C-alpha cells in the first residue's frame, strides 16, 4: 500500500453536518454549523479538512452531507502525501504468475511485491497507451481488434469505462487502501472524499500505467501480447502456462484474473477438464436519456431549468423483481457515452463510459434482466457448462445482424418497445458507430422482454419522465458479469482440484467492479504467499 509521510498523528475530531447545496462549499458555513453542533465558540475552530461529501436529493430541498475533521484550538497536522513505495523482492524470491492486467491482476501484483514475491503479469492485450489507438477502428470502421479493445488490454474493461469506485462490498478488505493506492498513482484525491467516487475514462489510463511502472520498478514483469493458450497441469497441480506465441512461464502459484470476456480461457479450461460452474448473470439493453431530463427528475426542478452549478450530473439506481427474476439498472453513466464493447467481429455489444467531468448531454445505463442457469437449459446439451456464454453470444450475433453491419447497433424508442412496434425514427445518441431502428422486443427472448416491459413501466411510475419518446433502448448489454464461475476453496482460495491455481476477480465470478476486483486480487495474492 502507499507510504504515508509524515507519520500519522492522533486523529482530530470528525463532525458530521448537513447544509443546503448553495452553502456547501463555503467554509464559513462549515464553521458556523460545526460550532453550533459542538456548542462552542467559532473562534475555537482553527482549522478544518473535508473528509466525506455526499448529496442527499431525496427531498425537494437538496442537502449536502459533510464530514469534517476539525482542529480545535490548533491547526491540523499537514495532510500526508500518498506515494507508491514497493521494494524489490529478494533475488531468490518465488514467482507468482498473474493472468490478466485488470484491477484484480494489478492489485494482486502490487500486494505480491509487498509480500516478497515476484509478480509476472501476462496480458493478451496492449498497454493503455497503444490500446487507445486500437479503439479507433471499432468506433470509425466497425472493425474489432480482437485482443485489444474496450475489454482487453492494460487495466481491463474498466480502463475506458466510467471508472466507478463505489462498491457495496464492505467486508472483503480495506477499501480505503484501494483508493489511496489509486491516488498514489495519480487518481484525483477527490475519490477519498466523495460518497460515490469515480475517476473517468480520460484519467484512468494514466493511473493504470503508473501502477504498471511501480510493478516494473520493483522488479516485477508485465508482458503484453501474452495470450495464454494452455495451462501446464501435472498431477493435480498447476506448474505454469504457455502463450500463443510459444513462450512458457513457470510458477507454482498462478492467479487467474482474466476478466469476464475472456471466453477462450473458459473454453481452454473446459477442454483441459478443469471444473467450471454455471452462475447467474444478466442481459438486456443500454437505455439512454437526455441528461437534463434525468437532472430535472432527480433534483426536483422543472424540465428546461438549468442544473445548479454545484450539483453533478444526476444518476439513478432502479431495481425490482418480476416473476423471480431481477430487473435492474446497471453501470449507470451520468453525462456519459455508449461504446462498442464487442471482442469479436461477428457480434455487437454495448456498454457505458463517461469522462471525469461527466459533461456529455446524455445519460445512459444498462437495463437488464437476470438469467439463471436453468434459463439456458436448451443450450446445455451442446455447450455444457458454457451454455451461458452461448446465450450471450446468440444475442450479440442477433444485434450484429439487426444493426446491419460494422458496429451499428439496433435501437428502439422505449415507448415503441413497450407497445411492440418499430420506431419510425430514433432520437440522437452518444453511440458513435450509429444505431439502426429494429424490434428489440422481437429479438430478445420473450421471457426477458415481458419482464423488462413490466420493470420499465414500474420505473416510469417511480421516476417522472423516465418513459419518454426521447429515450433510446440500444442492444445489447450482455457483459454485465461472467456466466461462468471458476470454483475455489473458500479458505485457501485455490481451485478445489488444481493446487496453486487461484481463480480471481470478475472473470472467475468473485467480483463485480473495479474495487471488488482489486480487493479480490489482494486476497488471492495473500493466499498465494501463505498469509
pLDDT, mean of residues 32-44: 96
Output the pLDDT for position 531.
76
SS3 2: coil
Higher pLDDT, 16 or 531: 16
What pTM, to 2 d.p., does this model score?
0.94
CATH assignment at residue 203: 3.50.50.60
Output the pLDDT for position 381.
97
pLDDT, mean of residues 423-432: 98
Distance CA 376, CA 390 (A): 9
369 near 455, Cβ under 8 Å? yes
Say yes or no: 116 and 172 in one domain. Answer: yes
Contacts of 514 (CB under 8 A, 6+ apart): 103, 158, 163, 164, 165
Q: 384: pLDDT confidence band, cut at 50, 70 and 90?
A: very high
Rg of the chain over all Cα atoms, to the nearest angstrom: 24
287 near 336, Cβ under 8 Å? no
- The C-alpha cell of 531 is what? 498469509
Centre a 10 Å sphere on the Cβ of residue 530 and count the other Cβ atoms it contains.
9
Q: 167: pLDDT confidence band, cut at 50, 70 and 90?
A: confident
Nearest residue to 403 (alpha-carbon basis) of 313, 469, 340 = 340
**Position 88 in a domain:** no
Output the pLDDT for position 304.
84
Residues facing residue 411 across a β-bridge: 437, 474
355 near 202, Cβ under 8 Å? yes
Output the pLDDT for position 479.
96
Nearest residue to 83 (alpha-carbon basis) of 5, 190, 2, 180 = 2
pLDDT, mean of residues 131-137: 93
Say yes or no: 408 and 523 in one domain. Answer: no
**Position 87 in a domain:** no
Helical spans, DSSP H, in 39-190: 103-114, 128-133, 135-136, 175-184
pLDDT, mean of residues 310-336: 96
**Position 472 in a domain:** yes
Q: Supply the mean pLDDT for the chain.
A: 94
Output the pLDDT for position 354.
92
Output the pLDDT for position 160.
84
Output the pLDDT for position 46.
96
251 near 496, Cβ under 8 Å? no
Q: 410: pLDDT confidence band, cut at 50, 70 and 90?
A: very high
Say yes or no: 464 and 505 in one domain. Answer: no
Output the pLDDT for position 414.
98
pLDDT, mean of residues 338-356: 96
- Full domain range(s) for residue 347: 281-477
- The C-alpha cell of 135 is what? 479503439
pLDDT, mean of residues 63-89: 93
Nearest residue to 60 (alpha-carbon basis) of 294, 301, 293 = 301
**Position 439 in a domain:** yes
Say yes or no: 240 and 352 in one domain. Answer: no
**Position 84 in a domain:** no
**Position 48 in a domain:** yes
CATH assignment at residue 41: 3.30.70.2700
**Position 86 in a domain:** no
Say yes or no: 222 and 108 in one domain. Answer: yes
Centre a 10 Å sphere on the Cβ of residue 188 and count the other Cβ atoms it contains.
17
Share of the chain above pLDDT 70, in %: 97
Alpha carbon 417 to its chain centroid, in Å, reads 28
**Position 298 in a domain:** yes
Output the pLDDT for position 3.
59
pLDDT at 5 over 70: no
290 near 470, Cβ under 8 Å? yes
Say yes or no: 43 and 15 in one domain. Answer: yes
Say yes or no: 437 and 371 in one domain. Answer: yes
Output the pLDDT for position 4.
56
DSSP string, 268-317: HHHHTT---EE--EEEEEEEEEEHHHHHHHHHT--TTSPPPTTSPPP---
Q: Is the peptide bond before 6 cis (omega within 30 degrees of 0)?
A: yes
Residue whose grid cell is 422486443:
441
Q: What is the DSSP letter of 194?
A: B
Output the pLDDT for position 168.
64
pLDDT at 488 over 90: yes
pLDDT at 7 over 60: no
Output the pLDDT for position 2.
67
Q: How many domains does the chain have?
A: 3
Output the pLDDT for position 190.
94
Output the pLDDT for position 164.
83
Alpha carbon 363 to its chain centroid, in Å, reads 17
pLDDT at 6 over 60: no
Amino acid at each position: 500500500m502507499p507510504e504515508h509521510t509524515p507519520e500519522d498523528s492522533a486523529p482530530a475530531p470528525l463532525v458530521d453536518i448537513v447544509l443546503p447545496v448553495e452553502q456547501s462549499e463555503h467554509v464559513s458555513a462549515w464553521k458556523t454549523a460545526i460550532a453550533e453542533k459542538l456548542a462552542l465558540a467559532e473562534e475555537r475552530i482553527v482549522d478544518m479538512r473535508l473528509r466525506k461529501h455526499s448529496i442527499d436529493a431525496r427531498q425537494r430541498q437538496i442537502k449536502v452531507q459533510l464530514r469534517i475533521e476539525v482542529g480545535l484550538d490548533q491547526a491540523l497536522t499537514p495532510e500526508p502525501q500518498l506515494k507508491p513505495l514497493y521494494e524489490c523482492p529478494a533475488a531468490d524470491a518465488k514467482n507468482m504468475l498473474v493472468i490478466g492486467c485488470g484491477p484484480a491482476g494489478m492489485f494482486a501484483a502490487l500486494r505480491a511485491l509487498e509480500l516478497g514475491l515476484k509478480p509476472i503479469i501476462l496480458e493478451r492485450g496492449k498497454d493503455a497507451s497503444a490500446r487507445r489507438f486500437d479503439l479507433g477502428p471499432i468506433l470509425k470502421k466497425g472493425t474489432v481488434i480482437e485482443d485489444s479493445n474496450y475489454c482487453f488490454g492494460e487495466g481491463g474493461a474498466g480502463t475506458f469505462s466510467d471508472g466507478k469506485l463505489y462498491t457495496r462490498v464492505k467486508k472483503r478488505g480495506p477499501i480505503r487502501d484501494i483508493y489511496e493506492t489509486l491516488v498514489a498513482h495519480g487518481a484525483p484525491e477527490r475519490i477519498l472524499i466523495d460518497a460515490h467516487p469515480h475517476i473517468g475514462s480520460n484519467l484512468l489510463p494514466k493511473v493504470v500505467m503508473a501502477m504498471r511502472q511501480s510493478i516494473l520498478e520493483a522488479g516485477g514483469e508485465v508482458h503484453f501480447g501474452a495470450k495464454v493458450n494452455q495451462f501446464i497441469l501435472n498431477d493435480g497441480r498447476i506448474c505454469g502456462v504457455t502463450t500463443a506465441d510459444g513462450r512458457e512461464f513457470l510458477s507454482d502459484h498462478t492467479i487467474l484474473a482474466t476478466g469476464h470476456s475472456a471466453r477462450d480461457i473458459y473454453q481452454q479450461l473446459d477442454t483441459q477438464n478443469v471444473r467450471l460452474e454455471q452462475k447467474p448473470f444478466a442481459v438486456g439493453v443500454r437505455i439512454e436519456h437526455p441528461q437534463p431530463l434525468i437532472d430535472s427528475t432527480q433534483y426536483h426542478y422543472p424540465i428546461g431549468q438549468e442544473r445548479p452549478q454545484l450539483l453533478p450530473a444526476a444518476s439513478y439506481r432502479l431495481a425490482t423483481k418480476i416473476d423471480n427474476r431481477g430487473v435492474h439498472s446497471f453501470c449507470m453513466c451520468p453525462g456519459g457515452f455508449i461504446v462498442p464493447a464487442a471482442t469479436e467481429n461477428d457480434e455487437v455489444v454495448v456498454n457505458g463510459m463517461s469522462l471525469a467531468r461527466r459533461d456529455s448531454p446524455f445519460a445512459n445505463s444498462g437495463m437488464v434482466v437476470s438469467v439463471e442457469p436453468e434459463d439456458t437449459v436448451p443450450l446445455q446439451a451442446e455447450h455444457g457448462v458454457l451454455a451461458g456464454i452461448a446465450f450471450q453470444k446468440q444475442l450479440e450475433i442477433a444485434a450484429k445482424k439487426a444493426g446491419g453491419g460494422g458496429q451499428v447497433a439496433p435501437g428502439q424508442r422505449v415507448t415503441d418497445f413497450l407497445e411492440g412496434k418499430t420506431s419510425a425514427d430514433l432520437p440522437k445518441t452518444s453511440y458513435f458507430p450509429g444505431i439502426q431502428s429494429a424490434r428489440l422486443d422481437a429479438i430478445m427472448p420473450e421471457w426477458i422482454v415481458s419482464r423488462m416491459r413490466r420493470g420499465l413501466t414500474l420505473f416510469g411510475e417511480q421516476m417522472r419522465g423516465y418513459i419518454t419518446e426521447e429515450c433510446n433502448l440500444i442492444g445489447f448489454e450482455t457483459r454485465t458479469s461472467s456466466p461462468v464461475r471458476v470454483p475455489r476453496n473458500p479458505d485457501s482460495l485455490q481451485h478445489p482440484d488444481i493446487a496453486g491455481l487461484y481463480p480471481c476477480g470478475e472473470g472467475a465470478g468473485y467480483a463485480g467492479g473495479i474495487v471488488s476486483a482489486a480487493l479480490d486480487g489482494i486476497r488471492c495474492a495473500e493466499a498465494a504467499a501463505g498469509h
